[in-house]
Structure formats: structure tokens, C-alpha cells
Amino acid sequence: MFFLYTVYAVVLGVLLIAGIVEQRRHLRCLRSIPDRILVNGIRGKSSVTRLCAGALRGGGLTVVAKTTGTAARFIHPDATEEPVYRKFGIANVVEQIGIVRRAAAARPDVLVMECMAVMPPLQEVNQTKLIQSTIGVLSNVREDHLQEMGPTLPDVARSLSRSMPVGGVCVTAERELLHVLQEEADKRSCRLIVVDPEDVTDEELDGFPYHSFKENVAISLEVARLAGVPRDLALKGMWEAPPDPGVLTVESYRFGDSTLRFANVFAANDPRSTVMNVQQLIERGKIAAPIFTLINCRPDRVERNGQMGEIVPELLTDKLFVIGHPSRSALAKVPPGWQGRSFDLGGANRPVEEILDRIVEQIDGEASLIAIGNIHGQGELLLHHLEQAVRQC
């Protein structure tokens, strides 16, 4: 028995020493990178991460970045990128240690990391132990991950604030819950900088080859300013930065005599962000009436499905198509005062070819279709099918 206790103690000692050695190695890697930026928030994290990296590259800095969202990517200093390998395809915050080590090998001036933690304690660990950012970004506070960070929006704001650097700087575009963020920043002696999206002009937005948002651009310009990069160089760098795979896009497709302008709004999968995105698309003339809406449902996101049904009238929708399962979870939440027509095309195994044919049947010449909700499942299959269609020049 004494022998077993001895072996147990020796193993614990070896693990303790290995942990100390790994921690010191990680801290050396962190300290070799002068500026570290941690991007957190509910929506737009991946886009802001890429925009910040592009803005800083525009100023001649050596930048390594890593995104987590639609498709996790390691972005090299020359803006080339590659997928982040995950064992068994499972994301874990511990992967940040390997990313930091790999980034340090490139001897960058700046490391830009998207926060991948959801649980509040892990968000704090991600900041205090894994990244130790010098500049924090908190893009916005929206209704998402309420089970982990909620149940209320102020709770979500406090949870996200755990990633603020103590004694550092945090940049945000959030307005409605600014008072909560300021309280949390004060607790951490963190200087909170609030950007104004209207400082970004329409002409500056026109420089992007894809649809971008003033909030994200304003945040990235402020981060570049803090790093000493002039606005003109930062903008040029952002215009040239490769977009995230989940970036909001609008594409035109021709089906015989019918034209479909397809707006992929799947990435904005909380109700407020979805409404804001659609409103901006309308204001900028990217989509126009008649407007169709497609909600993709998932059985593990029933509450989210219902939230998407509730906002249908706000999207100025003429016709509603619901796919996936259970479709009734979205249809049942559509307000009774909505005057449009709805089509239940749900069913987990319904062919996307049939779904697209039913939508095209309802087009009289030209229509815009906004796809919202959850991308996984039939949403992904539909996007893949559309990629095979002939795009209108």
C-alpha cells in the first residue's frame, strides 16, 4: 500500500512540475509579443478579428491572428490562412496555448485572437491565463447563449466583461448596455473607449468588396489608432483583408426568367442582429421588395427558431419559407398581424432542390430572399446547392 501511495505522489509531483514548466513557457511566448488583442462579443467577432489584423498590417506591423467562428482559421503575417486542426473536431479553449506558441515563432508585433470561451469562468481564464491581452474588444451585447451567460442581457454584458484587461484598454460599439460595461471596466481599472459607427463614412464602406458594418469598422479603426496606425493606412489594410467565410453576402442567381437576390444572414443568428443586418441591406440598396424570408430550424435550437418567427414583420417580409425541423417552432411564433404568406417546407430530410424549386415558383420576375436562423442542416445544404447554380453577371 505504501508503494502505491509513493507512486501516486511521484506521479502528482511530475504532473505539477510539468504544469509549472508549461505555464512558464506559455508566459514567455506571451511576453515575446508586444501587443495582444482579444476580441469578444456576441456578433461580429470573427469579422472584427480579421479587420483589426488587416488594419494593423496596413500600418506595416507584423500580425498573426486566429478566428473561431464559422470556420476557425490561423492567419499568418502575409494574410494567408489555414484551418485550425481540432482533435475529433471539438473546440477547447486550451487550444489557445498552442496558437500562442505558434504565433510567437513568427515574432509578431501584434497577436489578434477571437475569444472562443462561452462560459463566464472560462472567459476570465481565457483573458487572465491564456491571452493576457493589452487591448480588449467587446463588439456588442445581444440575446444569445442566455443559458450560459444569461438569463438577462445585463448578465450577458457582465459575463463578456470578464475578458476586459485589468489596467488595460477595451474598445466597444455597444450603446444600450454601456452603463453595465462601464461599471465592469471601472472594477478592473480598464479604460473603456466607445466608438461611434457614424464616424465611418459610406464612401469608406464602399471600399470593401463585401458587405461590412460601420460598427465593426469603427472598432478596428480605433484599435489601429491605439497601435499607432494612421486611418488611411488602416482602411487600406482592411479593404485588402480576406473576409470571414461567414461574412454577410448578397448574390444574384438566375433561374429561367426569374432572378433571386440571396442574402446570407445566417451568421447573425440572434433576433436583434438579424433585424439590424436586414435594415442595413435595405438602406444600402443591396436588397429590395418583394422580400422573401427563409428560416432554417434546428431541433436543438427551438427557442431560437421561435425568436426568428417573432421578427418576421420587422423584416418587411412578403412571403415566409420555413425549412428544417421542427418548422412549427418558428411558424407558431409569427405575430398574427403579419399580412404575408407562409410556406411550411420543413422536414429534416426534404431535398434542398425541391425547397429551391418551391421558392423560385413564387418569384414574379425578381425577388430578394433573406436566409436567417441557424445555418447548420438544410441551411448549409441549400447554400451548397446555390453555389452550383449559375450566378447572374
Classify strands 81-83 and 73-75 as parallel, antiparallel or unpaired: antiparallel
117 in helix, strand or coil? coil
212 pLDDT above the threshold of 60:
yes
Domains of the chain listed by start with CATH number: 29-240 (3.40.1190.10), 249-387 (3.90.190.20)
Report yes or no: 155 and 149 within 8 Å, Cβ to Cβ. yes
pTM for this prediction? 0.80
Q: What mean pLDDT do residues 295-316 have?
A: 92
Place of cell 464602399: 206
Report yes or no: 221 and 200 within 8 Å, Cβ to Cβ. yes
Q: What mean pLDDT do residues 235-255 have?
A: 88
Burial of 270 (0-12, 13-18, 19+ CB in 10 A): buried
For residue 2, name the pLDDT band (cuts at 50, 70, 90).
Answer: low
Taking the CA atoms of 216, 218, 220 and 223 in sequence, report the sign of the dihedral they define. negative
Report yes or no: 108 and 33 within 8 Å, Cβ to Cβ. yes
Q: Which of 88-102, 237-251, 259-273 has the lowest mean pLDDT?
A: 88-102
Q: What is the DSSP letter of 42?
A: S
Q: Which pLDDT score is estimated for 267?
A: 80
Q: Which pLDDT score is estimated for 393?
A: 39
Q: What mean pLDDT do residues 294-306 have?
A: 90
Q: Which pLDDT score is estimated for 89?
A: 65
374 pLDDT above the threshold of 50:
yes
For residue 184, name the pLDDT band (cuts at 50, 70, 90).
Answer: very high
Report yes or no: 71 and 170 within 8 Å, Cβ to Cβ. no
Place of cell 440598396: 285
Burial of 118 (0-12, 13-18, 19+ CB in 10 A): middle
Q: Which pLDDT score is estimated for 391?
A: 45
Kindly report, residue by residue over 56-110, the tens digit of the pLDDT: 999 999 999 999 865 789 999 999 999 888 776 677 788 888 899 999 999 999 9
Q: Which residues, listed in sequence order, are joined to residue 169 by a DSSP beta bridge?
A: 135, 191
Q: How far are the Cα atoms of 65, 75, 106, 132, 303 from residue 103, in angstroms, in the given order?
A: 8, 9, 6, 14, 39
